[in-house]
Chains A and B, each alone.
Chain A
Amino acid sequence: MSLMSEVGQKAFNLGVPIAVHMDVTYRCNERCVHCYLDHDDHGELTTAEVKDVLDQLAEAGVFFITFSGGEVFMRRDFFEIVEYARRLMFNVKIKTNAVMIHEDDARRIRELGVDTIQISVYSHRPEVHDAITKLPHSFERTIKAIRFLREQGLRVTIANVLMTANSFDHSEVQKLAAELGVQYTLDPTITPMMDGDTSVLSLRIPGEELPEIFHNPALVGNQDEFCAPPKPPSEEDLEGYSCSAGHSFCYISPYGDVFPCVQFPLPTGNIRHQKFLDIWNFSPEMKEVRSIQAKDLTVCSSCSHVGSCTRCPGLAYMEGSMRGPSTADCEKSFYRTGVPTANMLQQGLSKPRTTIPLIQIRSIAVPA
């Protein structure tokens, strides 16, 4: 186990929120066809409020903070926020489309000691990338920004979200990343919009195309290991937890709402009305998320994949129960290994049926 994994496990065991994902805005200069966000500003945290949150997070033991959005640079105070976070000695990662990053900004990012910048690139073909972002010349501007950041010696990762429009471009995007000297990561998950609109799910690449991705060593590493049939679950597997959501990780929205994860829209409190540590330690919702072990899962506890599945409790929650299966992950487990999941067998299916999540991130209504 690496030192980083050991520390992560220690934080998990102690219930310390070692990592937080904070969206500082939902506003954006792009209008990506698959985006799940409402880009209007419904009352973002002010600069002073964000700084107060950062003070509280430092006190709570948060070490890694990811600033994301929306597009983070839509906030004019974004550098002020990063500077404040760095003064509090957070390890800062930024997720951005990079369109607004110029040479001077890249230098500033380096001077502030930002750890990593993750940038969305959808295709190596400018016309495909721009058609997805709906912002003309966005590909050109994003790639130019990546070069500025690399010139400063910064670590950059290209995030390649796959959907129907770009499903065959991942190899070329990976080559582009290598040419630019940056890391590459792929994500085949498209989630419904915040207002519950599920039309974007039609952009998901069909499950039948997943085996091509899962059996590509350039994307998954050791293919035999990655696609191996699941081992019979051990007692340890059944005592285990799904992920770090609510254990050592959480998500904060631009309006101060706190959730177990960016993909787990269960409201647990709002930092405009409560202290972060009070929400983290005492929210009944956080406690419930934290209490669920694999043996408590309604369907998955009897699934042969339970020890190796990437089951997302947030996606399961969106389907109706945080203790239930996440169909998107059932699909991945099946297409990765060829072995049907308990969820499929229970429904008498020979291949997964993608269901539509029902619950989405919404602001918490707090009485005046």
Chain B
Amino acid sequence: MPENCIYITRSSAIAARALAGEMMVMNSVDSTFFTLNEVATAIFQAADGHTPLREIVRDRVCGQFDIDPEQALADAEQFVAELSSHGILLVSNQPLASEAP
């Protein structure tokens, strides 16, 4: 596993819904409201806390949109940083612990 792996999870404080391919996201803590474009929506929907961001970008972004992988990862990291600063995404260098059966 690469050392710089980051894992992203959607905060439980948010509301989200897709409207014509774009995701509406609102944080209930401060009512900040965002709409995410198609690429950002793909990353947001894959934010399960278990899949490394690099893998999400490779499979969900580069696999579906014609984007340079390194540029896509850099853009994704910037997007994740912005959404995490608003409490929309939670970022960790560890995957989420699996729930007990």
Q: In the complex the two chains form, is A7's CB within 8 Å of B19's CB?
A: yes
Question: How many residues of chain A get a CB closer than 8 Å to chain B's CBs?
Answer: 22
Instruction: Report yes or no: A3 in contact with B18, Cβ–Cβ below 8 A.
Output: no
Chain B residues with CB under 8 A of A61: 17-19
Interface residues of A in 1-56 (CB under 8 A from B): 3-4, 7, 10-11, 14, 16, 18
Q: Interface size of B by Cβ–Cβ distance < 8 Å?
A: 17
Chain B residue at minimal CB-CB distance from A64? B15
A173 within 8 A of B: no
CB distance from B92 to the nearest CB of A (A): 20
B84 within 8 A of A: no
Q: B19 near A10 (CB under 8 angstroms)? A: yes
Does A330 have its Cβ within 8 Å of any Cβ on chain B?
no
Mostly, the B contact residues are strand
The answer to whether A92 and B24 touch across the interface, beta carbons within 8 angstroms, is: no
B35 and A155 contacting across the interface, CB-CB below 8 Å: no
Cross-chain contact of B26 among A10, A115, A153, A155 (Cβ < 8 A): A115
Of the candidates A7, A86, A153, A155, the one whose C-beta lies within 8 Å of that of B24 is: A7
Interface residue? B31 (CB, 8 A): yes
Q: Are A113 and B24 in contact (CB under 8 A)?
A: no
Report Cα–Cα, A11/B24, bound state, in Å: 11
Known interface pairs A7-B24, A63-B24, A113-B13. Does A155 touch B18 (Cβ–Cβ under 8 Å)? no
Complex Cα–Cα for A303 and B64 (A)? 53
The reply to whether the CB of A261 lies closer than 8 angstroms to some CB of chain B is no
A159 at the interface (CB under 8 A from B): no
Q: Indicate if the CB atoms of B19 and A91 lie closer than 8 Å.
A: no
B13 and A7 contacting across the interface, CB-CB below 8 Å: no
Q: How far is the CB of A65 from chain B (nearest CB, A)?
A: 9
Return the CB mask of A76-115 against B: 1 if under 8 Å, else 0: 0000000000100111100000000000000000000111
Is B19 a contact of A89 with CB atoms below 8 Å? no
Q: Is there a chain A Cβ closer than 8 Å to B12's Cβ?
A: yes
| B35 in contact with A7 (CB, 8 Å) | yes
Tell me the complex Cα distance, A7–B24, Å.
8
Q: Which residues of A contact B (CB under 8 A)?
A: 3-4, 7, 10-11, 14, 16, 18, 58, 61-63, 86, 89-92, 113-115, 153, 155
7 A-B pairs within 8 Å (CB atoms) are namely A3-B34, A3-B35, A7-B24, A63-B15, A63-B26, A91-B28, A113-B29
Top 4 nearest A-B pairs by Cβ distance?
Answer: A91-B15, A63-B17, A113-B28, A113-B13
Known contacts A3-B35, A62-B17, then 17 further A-B pairs from the complex at CB < 8 Å, ordered by chain A residue: A3-B34, A4-B33, A7-B24, A10-B19, A14-B20, A16-B19, A18-B17, A18-B19, A61-B19, A63-B19, A86-B12, A89-B16, A90-B17, A91-B15, A91-B28, A114-B28, A115-B31
